[in-house]
Amino acid sequence: MFNLVPGSAGAGQIVYALSLKNTSSSACSLHGVPHGTLLGATGAALPTHVTAGAAGRTKHVVLQPGASAVAQARFSSTVAGQGDSQSGMCQPTAYTLQVTATGGGVTDAAIKPPTSVCEQGSLNFEAFDYAG
């Protein structure tokens, strides 16, 4: 899931939280920020640029079966940047964040609610941490 954090909107920015759950029967690990691609309603790739927030906060997160981790992303859904449409929506609406694991594998996280991501799909992610 990639869900809006209620009350997070301000100064042209908004925060969404990406939650990933280990559904396997063995432990897995996450490190740093997510790697992903925004997808439109038909599954077509949209411009996506993931950057890391708060340097030095990187953790190595080991998820036991059934455990979850979360990473928050700050971005603009309303303020157009260079390369964006300057009238109407800045980018097409994104419905899915397709997350790619460093060691292989892909999972789709539904974006709730679907949103446009301005500045050519720029998502500033914090590092993964244990879900609490």
Contact present, 2 and 97 (Cβ < 8 Å): yes
> Could you identify the residue written with the tokens 């914090």?
126
Question: Which two three-digit tokens encode residue 44?
Answer: 């077509």
> Could you identify the residue written with the tokens 């157009």?
80
- Percent of the chain, pLDDT > 90? 69
Question: Which two three-digit tokens encode residue 94?
Answer: 């994104």
What is the phi/psi pair of residue 27, to 5°? Answer: -65, 150
pLDDT digits (tens, 9 = 90+) for 75-105: 999 999 988 998 889 999 999 999 997 667 7
pLDDT digits (tens, 9 = 90+) for 10-43: 888 999 999 999 999 999 888 888 899 999 999 9
Question: Which two three-digit tokens encode residue 36?
Answer: 């992903």
What is the phi/psi pair of residue 60, to 5°? Answer: -100, 110
